[in-house]
Amino acid sequence: MELLKQRILEDGRIEEGNILKVDNFLNHQLDINLLTEVGKEFTRLFADLGITKILTIEASGIAIASLTALQMDVPVVFAKKTQSKNLDNETWDAKVHSYTKGITYTIKVSKRYLSESDKVLIIDDFLANGQACLGLKEIVENSGAELKGVGIVIEKSFQQGAKMLKDAGINLHSLARIASIEDGSIDFVE
């Protein structure tokens, strides 16, 4: 998605350790017009699959999922990372390991909101090691719903997540695929 790649090049910042920060438009400040275009692109890529629900994970996935759901006219469900008072006792759970934070946490979705009749599209902002995505996939499978695809805004193709998901047979589309970040410069996969 050319518009997105241009935006990453213009407004992404590369910080110490070759960390790409896109908090200007994707995961702290949100450019709603850009995310609307992202939603339209996901809708095009995952058309004709009979998607009934978009599943994401708090917090950065929620805006992207919502603006995609607006185009697809389906509800969003977002997995919660913490034991919330507002969450049902009856949940589908999965453990997710975060390599960057060095912790393992549990994500939860109420059993009320995923069922055998659902055809699910998973949406998230980043794909790096793929752990969050595998956790969401586990929840979809445990619920009996059908996972129809995974839509990612920015894939770090030099990490293992994308390969793992494709090897698992998942219908993955990433809108910007980064081949490398070196010396303050970003190269996209051609």
Span from 25-33, 153-161, 169-177, 179-187 in contact with its own copies (CB under 8 A): 25-33
Q: Phi first, then psi: what are they for 111, rounded to 5°? A: -65, -20
Q: How far is the CB of 157 from its own copies (least distance, A)?
A: 19
Q: What is the CA radius of gyration of the chain?
A: 16
- Which residue in the set 1, 4, 51, 67 belongs to the binding site for its own copies (CB under 8 A)? 67
68-97 positions binding its own copies, by CB under 8 A: 69-70, 73-78, 80, 85-88
CA 31 vs CA 39, 53, 71, 153, 164: distances in Å: 12, 23, 17, 13, 30
Nearer to its own copies, 104 or 166 (CB): 104
Q: How many residues bind to its own copies according to rule CB under 8 A?
A: 38
- State which residue, 32 or 166, has the beta carbon closest to its own copies: 32
Contact assessment for residue 133 and residue 161, using Cβ atoms and an 8 Å cutoff: yes
Determine the 3-state secondary structure of 49 from DSSP: coil
